Amino acid sequence: MRTQVGIVGAGPAGLLLSHLLHLEGIESIVVETHTRRHVEERIRAGVLEQGTVDLLNQSGVGGRMRREGLIHHGIELRFNRRGHRIDLFELTGGRAITVYGQHEVVKDLIDARLQADGQILFSVDQVSVHGFDGKSPSIRLRSAGEPLEIVCDFIGGCDGFHGVCRPSIPADALRNYEKVYPFGWLGILAEARPASEELVYSNHERGFALLSMRSPVLSRVYLQCRPDEELEEWPDDRIWEELQLRFQTDEGFRLNEGRVVQKGVTAMRSFVAEPMQYGRLYLAGDAAHIVPPTGAKGLNLAAADVRILSRAMANWYRNRDGGLLERYSQLCLRRVWRAQHFSWWMTSMMHRPDGGSEFDHRRQLAELDNVTTSRAAATNLAENYAGLPFEVI
Ligand code: FAD
Ligand code: PHB
């Protein structure tokens, strides 16, 4: 098979890249190891920055998001049994976030690609990438048991943190920066009305907790746990009991409880591979960088990467100008590192430190006091949370 851009991975990065390239008149084939059902049902991120929302709308895939997404103008930071609202909208001059599940974005993108006769090969295996140090890269795989080779001009490495693209780059050509945190998140999806209209990030001496949602009747709630926490140790009753403690306020706040329909543990890390390109292989999204989820940045960074990559490729096809492609990594990394800093900062301000040092807890409370009483500090949080403006290219 032959196409212009071969894309490894049908997560948000790969699918949005394929869609944006299509709008530029560039053909692509996406290959994915999981089934369509699996990628459409995988519960992950939930917060879209204003810029991501604008990008989805401008590229014609925002219809359902506009109908079903929940627009939030603020978030709450809770500590010392009291809530403090950060007014994102007012502090950023009118920016907001939209709560709309990543799997819904994925469904919308798959629909758009298939309606435009785009090719997505699901359930493939033995994927490998070749020849990207020359002019004719290729992706080899097995599809329905048959070997297949896709020859292309460029490869989009959008296969997430555990994919094959990044490890295929010679080790001495990449530099990895990494920080692993001594905690994780136990997340549940529950059939319960969210007890707050806006997200609540709670710093509690027993550990961090986050109340989010997927709809007016579905709560998405997380609690800080060990990175290797065994789910068997957390029957639903224990989860609710712990969550009620961590969200307690002097006004008697209670979470609404309901049937738990999904449960999982995620370990946390910060990671960046530099540069995000090698020859004709371009990494985007989690394949190139990971942030801890406290800043809600992962999916948004993936969207920002492929926005730049699609424009850089369009410039090459249209004008045979490879300038933007050469600068792809450099153009992405500024935003990536800003998001790394913000995500690390939110994580260290909100989580119970390893060993539970009393000094660190007092320092966190002082920082939260600052963020919730100083307009300058709150504005800094709001600008980063709602999303920095895109790079002008
Ligand atoms: P992925 O979504 O990982 O997609 C990669 C795809 O490649 C997958 O479908 C995978 O199956 C496929 N693949 C892997 N290997 C191969 C191979 N060899 N061949 C072919 N295909 C392959 N981000 C936010 O912005 N906001 C949030 O609120 C947020 N919350 C989160 C909460 C949790 C619990 C978690 C786990 C993550 C959260 N994130 C959040 C992060 C966000 O989900 C990721 O950053 C996002 O999924 C990155 O998209 P991606 O397309 O780069 O990678
Ligand atoms: C989510 O809704 O899944 C979510 C929201 C905010 C975060 C992380 C995850 O910071």
Rounded to the nearest angstrom, the distance between the alpha carbon of 302 and the centre of ligand 1 is: 9
Distance CA 264, CA 210 (A): 14
CA distance 75 to 303: 22
Of all ligands present, the nearest one to the C-alpha of 220 is 2
Q: What's residue 356's pLDDT?
A: 74
Q: How many whole angstroms separate alpha carbon 131 and alpha carbon 129?
A: 7
pLDDT reported for residue 354: 79
- Kindly report the protein residue whose alpha carbon is nearest to atom 20 of ligand 1: 32
Best substitution site from 19, 98, 159 to test ligand 1's pocket, by max atoms within 8 Å of Cβ?
Answer: 159
Cα 20 to its chain centre, rounded Å, is: 18
Residue 76's pLDDT is what?
A: 98
Q: What is the pLDDT of residue 392?
A: 86
pLDDT of residue 357: 85
Would you mind telling me the total number of residues written for the chain in this entry?
A: 393
CA distance 368 to 225: 21
Omega before 292 cis (within 30°)? no
Kindly give the distance from the C-alpha atom of residue 359 to the centroid of ligand 2, in angstroms, as a whole number.
28
d(Cα 229, Cα 257) in Å, to the nearest integer? Answer: 22
Q: Give the catalytic positions in this structure.
A: 72, 201, 293, 297, 385
pLDDT in tens, 63-78: 999 999 999 999 999 9
Do 243 and 226 contact (CB within 8 A), yes or no? Answer: no
Residue among 30, 270, 318 at smallest CA distance from 157: 30
Beta carbon of 8 within 6 Å of any ligand 1 atom: yes
Q: How far apart are CA 29 and CA 78, in angstroms?
A: 46
Would the pTM count as exceeding 0.95? yes
Q: What is the pLDDT of residues 43-59, one digit of tens each?
A: 999 999 999 999 999 99
- For the chain, residues with pLDDT lower than 70 are none
For residue 99, the ligand 2 atom closest to its alpha carbon is 2
Residue whose entry in the numeric block shows the structure tokens 């001594």: 182
Q: Are 299 and 48 in contact (CB under 8 A)?
A: yes
Instruction: Ligand 2 pocket test: pick from 48, 97, 199, 301 the residue with the most ligand atoms within 8 Å of its Cβ.
Output: 199
* Residue 349 · residue 364 · CB < 8 Å: yes
Question: DSSP string spanning 275-343?
Answer: SSEETTEEE-GGGTEE--GGG--HHHHHHHHHHHHHHHHHHHHHH---HHHHTHHHHHHHHHHHHHHHH
